[in-house]
Structure 1
Amino acid sequence: MAMSTSRLVSQIITATEIVFFNIFGVFGNVNFIVLTMKNKSLKSNSSYLQCALCFCHIICLLFELPNAGLSFSGVQWRRYECFSVISIYIFFICAQAVIIQMMTLDIFIIIYFPAFYRSIATWKYLTAMLVYPAIYSGIVVVWGFIAMDDELLMFCNPPLSLEPTVSRFWTLSNVIINTITLVMFLTLMVIFYYKGKQQKSNTKKVMQRLKVSILFFICTWYMGLLICDMSVAVGFTGETLILLLTHAVFFVLISYTQFFYVVIWRSPEYRNKFLEMWSFIPCCKRLRARFAETSKDFVTVFSQANSLTTKT
């Protein structure tokens, strides 16, 4: 009876989290794509790659909704039924983790191969950047189809829908991928610390926009994956293991949702365009006017200080 109550509470909490993050996550990711496509000043190879990430996150969030419905209904699926339905989700959940790594590589290319970055056609650049995510994701999904069985699942989500051996490979490989991404990103931070003044303004803007978002993603994605991986490694089994794997989705949902909100916080260009696009809403109109006034005051103060310095 106690376990039954625990399971019910777990289902309600998980479903509520999924619905909440879907509302804010889909809204944010769609807005990032629309802002990039509508504004020429925001278009670049980097921003298109970020749009690919947002698209993956939209798919991932939407595919979590059936799990929310199943949580409330109490319906349980067998692994072959669950995996067949969410295999597309698993493809995109794998792809988005590798795209984050490609976004870090993208900054390296901007810094060390600027002429190549400016000259290469966008479609060629994006194709090259997305081949690795597609191959890795395809391997996991194909292996998942080959290994699936008819075990009854408590929840229909990626860690449980994959056969345990495949699930273990998925979590461990993602930890490795994110560790490599973290090392790459920390290397970039060191480069910018020592050579920041020499970097071009466009490079600085990209780095400023992405550094918090990438670190935020790595932390939340790491946390979700480590909970899954360590739960198995420590030896948890049965209902305890299932509950731990299920609640790890909280950190995963944050990673799907945060990108747009970090961008509009860190990037004045995206923030201004967002407020302009939504200025028909009174609060956005007021915020747009406030930010414009703040920017004007800053420019005035900077000009006066610069003038005094010149006179001196």
Structure 2
Amino acid sequence: MSMTWSDFNQQVIFYEILIFNVVGHFGNFHILYITYRFPKLRAKSAYLQCILSVFHSLCLLSTLANALFILFDMNFTRRQCYPILAPYIFCICAQAVLMLVLPSDILFAILFPHKYRNIGTFKYIVVMMIGPVIYSTFFMVWGFVKMDDDPIDFCNPPTGLHPTVTKNWMMSNVFINSVVLALFIFLILMVKIRGDAIRKERKKRVVRRLLVLMGIFICSWYICMAGVFMTLLSFQGLRQGVIHANFIIFALICYSQSFYVIIWRSKEHRAAFFHIWNIDRPTSQYTTSSGSNPKDSFL
């Protein structure tokens, strides 16, 4: 029996998700483990990156569950789907806002270095997480409130959420992404024009690494939102499966890219990674003892 286009499309989605889950979890785990093993690499922004990595891994796990639903051609109503989907909604919203928190953290560290160093790490992280938690909780709860018995083709955010919630979620994501883009441009200008404000070479590397992360996120997430927009329009003759086959990969890139950008742009993290896998001998600055003071580190 020949394979239909729908069957082929489902397999493409499944293997895309499976591959990115392996690649993404490997990277996100190593962000956490390197931060745990090497105290010199611990700091406020590093802890925020760890939290983002946790949310990214949870998002990847949620896409894996959705891939299984697609592979076995499981049908849902929105009321059946959403309780399964709700944790994914929370995580996907939190990671979007955290991508706004990360450049804000760097700007705070550059513009107000003394205040930044003197704030307790735990207190700072709690305050910075208030926005992501409120935003994520709002859309997750709204999704529960608007559940109905309409049948849906896929149990994922664009279709699992009520269309009213999806529309507002998409618009808010575009707004957040636009603010991230504005901060992206501002940081580039700061690096180019006010190099004296970024005195330490290590601080410059952190800013440049963040710019790469932000650039990939901005491009990928804008394209993702374009896919959501097309789903909402429900173009005649254009199956949602085709849309997902073309656009889900950009969400997976967002969830998987952080570690690989960090390893590419950070000599310290690269050396720590090599040390973990016995690829290279660490220098004294990568000791795993707890003698360093992360409060004084930029990242």
Q: Which stretch shifts more, 94-103 or 72-81?
A: 72-81
Distance 1:119 1:47 in 2: 17
- Give 3-state SS (helix, strand or coil) of 2:151's partner: coil
> Structure 1 residues 127 and 73, CA, compared in 2 at 3 Å: closer, same or farther?
same
Deviation track 1:108-150 (CA, whole Å, cap 9, x = no partner) reads 1011111111000111111111100111111111110011112
- Give 3-state SS (helix, strand or coil) of 1:248's partner: helix
Distance 1:137 1:66 in 2: 20
* Residue matched to 2:117: 118
* Residue matched to 1:145: 144
Aligned amino acid, residue 46 of structure 1:
S
Deviation at 1:218, TM superposition (A): 1.1
> Structure 1 residues 247 and 153, CA, compared in 2 at 3 Å: closer, same or farther?
farther
Distance 1:192 1:155 in 2: 44
* Residue matched to 1:131: 130
Distance 1:37 1:263 in 2: 16
Aligned amino acid, residue 39 of structure 1:
F
* Residue matched to 2:204: 204
The answer to whether 1:182 aligns with 2:181 is yes
* Residue matched to 2:192: 193
Q: Which stretch shifts more, 19-28 or 247-256?
A: 247-256
* Residue matched to 2:92: 93
Bigger helix fraction: 1
Aligned sequence identity (%): 38
Aligned amino acid, residue 222 of structure 1:
Y
> RMSD of the alignment, in Å?
1.9
> Structure 1 residues 198 and 271, CA, compared in 2 at 3 Å: closer, same or farther?
same
Aligned amino acid, residue 79 of structure 2:
Y
> Structure 1 residues 170 and 48, CA, compared in 2 at 3 Å: closer, same or farther?
same
Deviation at 1:241, TM superposition (A): 3.9
Aligned amino acid, residue 103 of structure 2:
T
Following TM superposition, the consecutive aligned residue runs of length 4 or more in structure 1 with deviations greater than 4 angstroms are none
* Residue matched to 1:170: 169
Per the normalisation by structure 1, the TM-score is 0.85
Distance 2:115 2:237 in 1: 53
Q: How does 1:230-249 map to 2 (within 5 A)?
A: 230-233=230-233, 236=235, 240-241=239-240, 243-245=242-244, 247-249=246-248
Distance 1:51 1:26 in 2: 13
Aligned amino acid, residue 62 of structure 2:
F
**5+ long unaligned stretches in structure 2:** 284-299
Aligned amino acid, residue 227 of structure 2:
I
Deviation at 1:79, TM superposition (A): 1.2
* Residue matched to 2:223: 223
Aligned amino acid, residue 224 of structure 1:
C
Distance 1:223 1:143 in 2: 24
Deviation at 1:239, TM superposition (A): 6.0
Deviation at 1:231, TM superposition (A): 4.6
Aligned amino acid, residue 33 of structure 1:
L
- Give 3-state SS (helix, strand or coil) of 2:152's partner: coil
Distance 2:256 2:244 in 1: 20
Distance 1:243 1:148 in 2: 25
Deviation at 1:49, TM superposition (A): 0.5
**5+ long unaligned stretches in structure 1:** 280-284, 293-312
* Residue matched to 1:44: 43
> Structure 1 residues 116 and 238, CA, compared in 2 at 3 Å: closer, same or farther?
farther
* Residue matched to 1:298: none
Deviation at 1:205, TM superposition (A): 2.8
Distance 2:237 2:113 in 1: 53
* Residue matched to 2:258: 259
Distance 1:139 1:111 in 2: 32
Distance 1:219 1:274 in 2: 27
Per the normalisation by structure 2, the TM-score is 0.89
Q: Return the index of the structure with the highest Cα Rg.
A: 1
Distance 1:238 1:228 in 2: 17
